[in-house]
A and B are shown apart, each in its own frame.
Chain A
Amino acid sequence: MHDDDPGKPHDPRLERIRAWLSQARFYAEEVYSSRYRGAIARARRDEDDLFMLLVFSEMMGVPNPAAYYTLELQPLLLERFHDWHRRMGMEHSPLDHFRCC
């Protein structure tokens, strides 16, 4: 058994193996994700956009049965609102009483 006393230095071989493993993990993860990072981020953004529409739907005249709950989320999503309406092809905020630009 390895002695876990923090005062004693760890087995340098074990440390080396651990360092090597974490290096291998870093490289493997980079190789795995680097090529598809963009595609996955875009897919995620598409889902988020739909979510934005749900949250702000009541304000745009689309009845939303869960409005009571989504209202709570609006302040949290405020930061993303400007990017969202720009992405949806609207130069300015589509909501009269909700100007962000």
Chain B
Amino acid sequence: MSATILLIIGLAAMAAGYFLYGKFIAEKIYRLDPDFRTPAHEFEDGVDFVPTNRFVLWGHHFTSVAGAAPIVGPAIAVIWGWLPAFLWVVLGTIFFAGVHDFGAIWASVRNRAKSVGALTGDVVGKRARSIFMIVIFLVLLMVNAVFAVVIAGLMMNFPSSVVPVWGAILVALVVGQLIYRRKISLPMVSVIGVIALYALIGIGPSVPLEMPEQVGALSGNAVWILILFAYAAVASLLPVWVLLQPRDYINGLQLFVGLIILYGAIVIFNPPMVAPAVNGNVPEGTPSLLPLLFVTIACGAISGFHGLVSSGTTSKQLSKETDAHFVGYFGAVGEGMLALAAILVASAGFASLADWEAMYTAFGAGGVNAFVEGGAFIIASGLGLPEATAATLLTVMAALFAGTTMDTGLRLQRYIFQEWGEIYGQAWMKKPAVATLLAVGSCLLLAFGAGGADGTGGMIIWPLFGTTNQLLAGLTLLVITVMLVRRRRPMWYTLAPLCFVLVMTIAALLLQLRTFFNDGNYFLLFLDLVVLVAAILVAMECSAALKRARAEMAEQLT
């Protein structure tokens, strides 16, 4: 099977999803009203609530939701063969992610732009809100730990990327200063920034910085993880305009450039799909496809994290309610495209099946390395770039996405600790530096606790991260479903994905519980139990909330 044909099928299906299914949901289920006064107009304050052009809003929504996760997840999941991953990403984007992201914007816009967390409290109940807070904390904890492990692995495997990755941070710092202090026009700064970034990528392979395998008592990988957390702690304490804002902007440009390069190279080179469609010969220790596939690929098929973005900043800036279809659903399609690219390069970017199998020796072994190596092979063959430069380009792209997510994640975790300090009257916990240290400490505990002192086993928690992310999505879908029931509209379009996600999540948690127990990994066993309890509580909340809503409706009828 040629990769180009698969690419065309995938894109055509997602386009059809947007124009047919998305339109149906917009008109018949959410019933968007072009005359509805959105919170952006109702509470316009020039700060949080600003009516924004829908293309601009889509750009910033898409770049906020797309990051390293839709690359890592699919690149791990092709171990079961490319077909299951392909189907889950395409169908997931159409029937799950699109409806979920779009629905989260709609639900928030119809409720004075409240966040999903607050909505869970209002629509479902106080208990559900508490579960929501715990799940969010777990998601942040895992995302920070996992991404530190991902970036550390990339730095160890691709030393040519060390200079450009850290240099990109310098570029972002300079860009931020140029914009705020010198007031130079932004297109000019963008051009300079992008040129500087690609110049760094160009020189990367000639100045590789290799971390020794062993530094004192620590492994090289562990040292990188510590450096990354030290950096993320400092970065998350800086004002947003200094680093986070310019870096996010450059990442956004990188995302578009990267997608164009990847898709262009695939179409020009047109490689065959080297990996098997369904892998009957998975390495020993690989968990069963059902249900693990559905939590290994979370971002790219359905991700609860999107609900936070949709109901956080996006809903406050939506100018017309009808724009939600484009911003939310098409944002999900954009992320699906990134996941699709990851699947294609991780299964077609190898010269032979033996090469591919040499990469996927164990569950979690391929992942982002397969994406970088496969992608570099395709870009080198399709566009004629030196393979080392192409590998550096993709490593920088993945590492920058993951780094920005760490910065944001650590910031949010710090707010949670500070809030707990507020609630429980602990003044010391409210200090930003202390709260940041607590956040970093908990993430480090997870990164090293999960996989031993060298931190290489941190990828074991990837599926666990997927389960918490899906739980978050489940809670958002629950809010939307209850709203639909109260409005006497068909609820199956959100209830079916909700049930599916919950069943798969609980099944995956049970399966992993057994694995962790057999491996004697009691740390993860405990974490798995916490998530499992949260999942069961969410499932019970769902049935209770829906029963209540239907009873209310029945009462009104009589």
Residues of A at the B interface (CB closer than 8 Å) are 21, 24-25, 27-43
A30 adjacent to B179 (CB under 8 Å): no
Closest 5 CB pairs of A and B: A41-B47, A38-B48, A28-B186, A30-B56, A36-B245
- Min CB distance A83 to B, Å, is 12
Closest to B411 in A: A39
Task: Determine the chain A residues whose CB is within 8 A of the CB of B59 once the complex forms.
Answer: 27, 31
A35 adjacent to B186 (CB under 8 Å): no
Indicate whether A27 sits within 8 Å of B56 (C-beta atoms), given known contacts A32-B179, A32-B186, A34-B50.
yes
Indicate whether A28 sits within 8 Å of B240 (C-beta atoms), given known contacts A34-B56, A34-B317, A35-B248.
no
* In the complex, chain B residues 15-72 whose Cβ is within 8 Å of any chain A Cβ: 46-48, 50, 52-53, 55-57, 59-60, 63-64
Q: List 9 A-B contacts (CB under 8 A).
A: A27-B56, A31-B252, A34-B52, A35-B64, A35-B245, A38-B48, A40-B239, A43-B240, A43-B241
B185 adjacent to A37 (CB under 8 Å): no
Instruction: Assess whether B381 is interfacial by the CB under 8 Å rule.
Output: no
A34 adjacent to B57 (CB under 8 Å): yes
Indicate whether A34 sits within 8 Å of B60 (C-beta atoms), given known contacts A28-B186, A28-B190, A43-B239.
yes
The A-B contact count (CB < 8 A) is: 63
- Min CB distance B244 to A, Å, is 7
A30 adjacent to B241 (CB under 8 Å): no
Instruction: Assess whether B493 is interfacial by the CB under 8 Å rule.
Output: no
A25 adjacent to B56 (CB under 8 Å): no
Instruction: Assess whether B436 is interfacial by the CB under 8 Å rule.
Output: no
Indicate whether A29 sits within 8 Å of B60 (C-beta atoms), given known contacts A35-B313, A37-B50, A40-B240.
no
Task: Determine the chain B residues whose CB is within 8 A of the CB of A35 once the complex forms.
Answer: 60, 64, 245, 248, 313
- Min CB distance A31 to B, Å, is 5
Per-residue contact bits, chain B 220-239, to A (CB 8 Å; 1 contact, 0 not): 00000000000000000001
**In the bound complex, how far is the Cα of B128 from the Cα of A90, in angstroms?**
33
- Min CB distance A89 to B, Å, is 13
- Min CB distance A74 to B, Å, is 25
Task: Determine the chain A residues whose CB is within 8 A of the CB of B317 once the complex forms.
Answer: 34
**In the bound complex, how far is the Cα of B63 from the Cα of A40, in angstroms?**
19
A25 adjacent to B47 (CB under 8 Å): no
B185 adjacent to A25 (CB under 8 Å): yes
A40 adjacent to B187 (CB under 8 Å): no
Instruction: Assess whether B516 is interfacial by the CB under 8 Å rule.
Output: no
A40 adjacent to B241 (CB under 8 Å): yes
Task: Determine the chain A residues whose CB is within 8 A of the CB of B448 once the complex forms.
Answer: none
Task: Determine the chain A residues whose CB is within 8 A of the CB of B50 once the complex forms.
Answer: 34, 37
**In the bound complex, how far is the Cα of B157 from the Cα of A96, in angstroms?**
67
A36 adjacent to B241 (CB under 8 Å): yes
A38 adjacent to B47 (CB under 8 Å): yes
Task: Determine the chain A residues whose CB is within 8 A of the CB of B249 once the complex forms.
Answer: 31-32
Known: A35-B248, A41-B47. 8 other contacts (CB 8 A): A28-B187, A29-B186, A31-B63, A34-B56, A35-B64, A35-B313, A38-B316, A40-B241
* In the complex, chain B residues 331-382 whose Cβ is within 8 Å of any chain A Cβ: none
Task: Determine the chain A residues whose CB is within 8 A of the CB of B244 once the complex forms.
Answer: 36
Task: Determine the chain B residues whose CB is within 8 A of the CB of A39 once the complex forms.
Answer: 240
**In the bound complex, how far is the Cα of B56 from the Cα of A38, in angstroms?**
16
**In the bound complex, how far is the Cα of B59 from the Cα of A32, in angstroms?**
10
Closest to A31 in B: B59
- Min CB distance B48 to A, Å, is 4
- Min CB distance B162 to A, Å, is 28
Task: Determine the chain A residues whose CB is within 8 A of the CB of B60 once the complex forms.
Answer: 31, 34-35
**In the bound complex, how far is the Cα of B239 from the Cα of A32, in angstroms?**
15
Task: Determine the chain A residues whose CB is within 8 A of the CB of B187 once the complex forms.
Answer: 21, 24-25, 28
**In the bound complex, how far is the Cα of B168 from the Cα of A101, in angstroms?**
51
**In the bound complex, how far is the Cα of B239 from the Cα of A36, in angstroms?**
11
**In the bound complex, how far is the Cα of B317 from the Cα of A58, in angstroms?**
41
Closest to A45 in B: B47
Task: Determine the chain B residues whose CB is within 8 A of the CB of A38 once the complex forms.
Answer: 47-48, 313, 316
Closest to B245 in A: A36
Which of A25, A34, A41 is the one whose CB lies under 8 Å from B186?
A25
- Min CB distance B512 to A, Å, is 35
**In the bound complex, how far is the Cα of B397 from the Cα of A74, in angstroms?**
51
**In the bound complex, how far is the Cα of B317 from the Cα of A4, in angstroms?**
42
